[in-house]
Amino acid sequence: MNTMAAHFTAFMRRDNLRDQVERIAGALAGPATGFALLLVIWKIISLKIIEIPGPESTLLAALELFSDPFYDNGPNDVGIGWNILASLGRVALGFVLAAAVGIPTGFLIGRVPSINAICSPVISLLRPVSPLAWLPLGLLLFKAANPAAIWAIFICSIWPMIINTAEGVKRVPQDYLNVARVLDLSEWKVFTRILLPSVMPYVMTGVRLSIGTAWLVIVAAEMLTGGTGLGFWLWDEWNNLNVQNILIAVLVIGVVGLALDLALLAVARRFNYEA
């Protein structure tokens, strides 16, 4: 009897393992097909346009590049690892400043109609301004390239957080606020027990949109300001006509941006908020 139970348990485990393998294979089939098509298209283009390296030679160049990512031969000759860290550092600082200002501002705009009436037209005016339009003002204000790049990240990342947070506050059911008023809850308790749990999915959406914007802005800003960073490195490789490294830079920028978005998605799921 025990032998039969053991065989049945082993069979069920094999069946569950098979189901898990099939689910994983199904989940990976789409991305694998997409990347395969990308490589095929890339290969065809490289055969048609000889100036564009193919995937094979670019992969070999990337392996050589990442074999020593943290070398330092002077101000304008550092490894790609240092450039990635420099860009991430600027993005982190500008993004944190934008969150510290944008999220509370969004709560105020959504909660107080008079502030909403004052701020909404200004936000609508400034939000569509190109990120690079803010960079000269940053250079004028801070007299240095690095603070100017951080300023550009800050000013362009703040809008999605303000808008999404304010929209989330406005969508809190009025019944919840009526109950809070009947119970005579303080504004702090209304914020912590009603507004914050209800608005957090909108906040996380704004945060994810902002990190994508910040990563786009920093690459463009570094192209203009110079120094270190992926944007500067990409532009420097263009000046050297090193197309392989340009393609590597494009892929690295995409991978890092994807990793940032997935990290924020994991944070949202960790706190059981929809994202």
- The residue ranges of DSSP E strands in 37-191, in sequence order, are none
Q: Global pTM?
A: 0.79
Give CA–CA dist 256/36, Å, rounded.
Answer: 20
Sign of the dihedral defined by the CA atoms of residues 55, 60, 63, 66, in that order: negative
Position 5 confidence tier, pLDDT thresholds 50, 70, 90:
low
Give CA–CA dist 170/195, Å, rounded.
Answer: 10
Give CA–CA dist 36/40, Å, rounded.
Answer: 6
Residue range 46-78, pLDDT digits in tens: 888 888 888 888 898 889 888 888 888 877 778
CB count, 10 Å around CB of 244? 19
Give CA–CA dist 231/235, Å, rounded.
Answer: 6
Nearest residue to 208 via CA among 254, 250, 157, 255 = 157
Three-state SS at 212 = helix
CATH class of 66-270: mainly alpha
Residue range 143-165, pLDDT digits in tens: 888 898 899 999 999 999 999 99
